[in-house]
Amino acid sequence: MRLRRLSSTVLGAALIAALIPGSATAAAPQAWSVAGPGAAVTARLALDDTGHLSFGVDLRGSPVLAPAPIGITTTDADLSAGLSFVSRADRTVRERYTKTTGKQLRRDVTLTESTFSFTGTRGAHLDVVVRVSAEGAAYRYVLPSGGTVTGETSSFTLPVAAPAWVLPYNSNYENARVQTTAGAAATGDYGFPLLAQVGADYVLLSESDVDGRYDGARLSHVAGESAYRIRLDDAQITATGRLATPWRTAAVGDLATVTGSMLTDDLAPPSKLTDTSWVRPGMVAWSWLSEHSSPSDPARQRQYIDFAARNGWPYVLIDEGWNAEWVPSVVRYARARGVDVLLWFHWTSLDTVQERDRMLPLLKSWGVAGVKVDFMDSDSQARFRWYDDILAATAAQHLMINFHGATIPRGLQRTWPHVMTLEAIRGAEQFRTRAAQNTIFPFTRNVVGGMDYTPVTWAVTDRDTTDAHEVALALVYESGWQHLADRPETYEAHPEALRTLSQLPTVWDESKLLSGAPGQETVFARRHDDRWYVGGISAVAAKTYSTELDFLGNGRFLAETLRDGDDGLVRESRIVRRTDTLSVPERANGGFVTVLCAYTGSATCDRPVRRVPATTLTVDPASADVRPGGTVTVAATFTLPAGGPITGVTLAPAPPAGWTVSGATVRDSSMRGGDSLRGSWRLTAPADLATGFTDLPVAAEFTFTGDPGSPDTPGKRPVHVEQAVRVLVPPANPAGTAAVSDLPFLTESNGYGPVERDQSNGEADSGDGRPLTLRGTAYAKGLGMHSPGEVTIWLGGACTAFSALVGIDDEVTQSGSADFQVLGDGRALAASGVRRSADPAATLAADVTGVQILTLRATDGGDGKNFDHADWADAKVSCAG
């Protein structure tokens, strides 16, 4: 730690001026330095004779960030000028922590910290806290009394000729990155992180520790200038009590240092979770990119689940289009095969306390392992407060989370270890892949945290990358959940690619950049447990890539390489030592993956793929009607048809909260092929049981001999096999002529937003629709759906007729279409045929005599669901009484 000491006369004058309110006495210029461990990185803070602060960073005695103005303004004070120095306090900060995701799971770093205290006009107080590590420097402001922030004068200065890789800002960070110079970048806003080359060194600008107390910033630049100024998302930021702003960060050094930097994590708050045993990274099969309609097809999702199970992938993500009616059964199907299900949500479906309190426990009861939340598209303080809320709520339910349409990570994955990845990248779903862009991402966006690029897809035909380049993305790009984005059939048509993907971990004990430059190529060596993985992607002409293997330990290693060959992907093997060189032929825009494992005489590094033994579980009865306080007796039989043994078998009901169970858990220490385990229990419903459908699950759990685990989580973990009795708690029968919109829904699903009562579909939240309007006539009663939509309603055999006027609501701006269908106890009773926006309202009537459950369904008309605002105007039933 080095301090340029002031004379006692100068320091005394500065202190006296600070203590006299309204004093116009200007202090002499002052400057301080804060050196990081090893003294390679030094932060420099200065106060000029007008009370303006500046901040810069030196590397090995030379500036990489020239001094640039800093400061903050509030509604009460301008703390960017007229400042007077009061005091300095120094300390050493040691950060030791373990993460669940990332390029380095265990971290032990030392930072030097100095807090500089200043006073401004009318005695306003400001602290500037500076931290420096061996790989960068950062600063933040502290307002001891809080206040309302109106802006920052914070900035960074880069040489105008410095090569720079910048991201024109938008709120989801999905624009293409631009290679330019710091000065030549066009006038406008730029997103973090920003990479620039200063001489032989590099600097990566970003921020850390952003949550609902502040907002997300960006950089504002004027063409031709050297300054990049901090611009906040909000015009005002409110704080109650002490406010510590986010850190403004600069990772500095050579490319290996910058890409290996964990400065944003080091500066983030410690983990808020004490137990992370339920957090599991891994490969994910994801269907939306390669076939957009598949998330609405439970049969197709089962095929993805079977594929994941065959290849040891622990997850399947069901994206937009899933239906609550079939998801629980698909989740049970998946878990019995050792696969967990993740579900997609639009963020507005989880933006209120009530929605989260209702939906998240329900997901947990279904057995869902995590959620993908999409379309936040904002860096505002309000949105970061929502991030705070949903992170706490998902953690409480042990649900992992992936943020799409999101901001960049700013240390979030350290503070909330159940965050598996974030998008904030121009990924494969843009359907245009360029090798030059791909080789920029590892040096920019991916440095600061998990990046959900959704790689390895042949479905993207507009690409200039080779097959090996595509496979290598799953290793070169770090993401706790790696969503592999093509069809099962496509991967199976590329068996060497599939074989490699099924062996790759998604988290790393350590990572090293071996070579590369943004826009040209990237080669990483990553270690997981006792083996190394080397992956490279290229945006240059064909060549032979060579690297020393001095990062290996002693002994012999089998090096197994996947690369592009003359007729597709090829695999090559050789035995190497740490003194050897790895050489791999690369095609133009190509890539490769090399796995290095201790050589034991085996011809491959492949480990066994986890495949769960097939079992069956039946429950009796399959369905039942129960009244509040009533009982139902459930019997279950769990069978291992063949193979085994399986061990530690348990069989027991797992009913919803409030139900009581009479009967003990059935156990067996070991089962072999042909063995069965049986049990019977009496379940009693709570007295306040709500009407509608309820599942009463019975679950078997077991482990199995020789379970290899997955690449990320080796070893045994229980397999969960579940079936459920479908219980109906019927409401009172309708009486007289009843409007359908006044009756309770047993079940509901909709294309966008909820099914609305007495208004059209607003596509987002309950109550956001307009009057139901068909060909200029408004209707006071009815249902507003968006195809594919469906409700079920209890009639109890008490009604004789249903009728409605159906059609596409006038509010849509382009032609929609829907087929309106009426079903009674699962039988088709009536249908409108496809109705389009130009068609007049059609009368739809059905005889519902004896029907217990009425289903009203609107399909998409066969041309997709856009603009399908399907109105059931004046829908009613005629009943006894």
Catalytically active residues are: 374, 429
Q: Give me the half-sphere count of Cα atoms (radius 13 Å) on the Cβ side of residue 536.
A: 32
d(CA 603, CA 598): 11
Note whether 480 and 507 are within 8 A (CB). yes
d(CA 508, CA 529): 8
Note whether 783 and 791 are within 8 A (CB). yes
| Concatenated DSSP letters of 642-672 | SS--EEEEEEEE-PPTT-EEESPPEEEEEE-
User: Per DSSP, what are the bridge partners of residue 167?
Assistant: 191
CB atoms within 10 A of CB 828: 12
**Closest to 359 measured CA to CA, from 37, 549, 351, 828:** 351
> Which tokens belong to 450?
């998990």
Q: Are strands 817-824 and 782-786 parallel, antiparallel or unpaired?
A: unpaired
> Dihedral of CA 736/741/743/747: which sign?
positive
> Which tokens belong to 482?
């790696």
**Closest to 675 measured CA to CA, from 644, 702, 699, 629:** 644
Helix axes 353-366, 381-396, angle to 10 degrees: 30
Longest dimension (CA), the chain: 99
d(CA 592, CA 222): 40
d(CA 475, CA 153): 40
**Closest to 123 measured CA to CA, from 230, 268, 23, 35:** 23
Give SS3 for 781. Answer: coil
Determine phi and psi for 79, rounding to 5 degrees: -100, 30
Give SS3 for 133. Answer: strand
Q: Identify the burial level of 248 via C-beta atoms within 10 angstroms of its C-beta, where 0-12 means exposed, 13-18 middle and 19 or more buried.
A: buried
User: Per DSSP, what are the bridge partners of residue 850?
Assistant: none
Q: Position of tokens 């947990």?
A: 364
d(CA 271, CA 32): 33
Q: Measured at the alpha carbon of residue 848, what is the angle toward residues 845 and 853, in degrees to the nearest 5?
A: 115
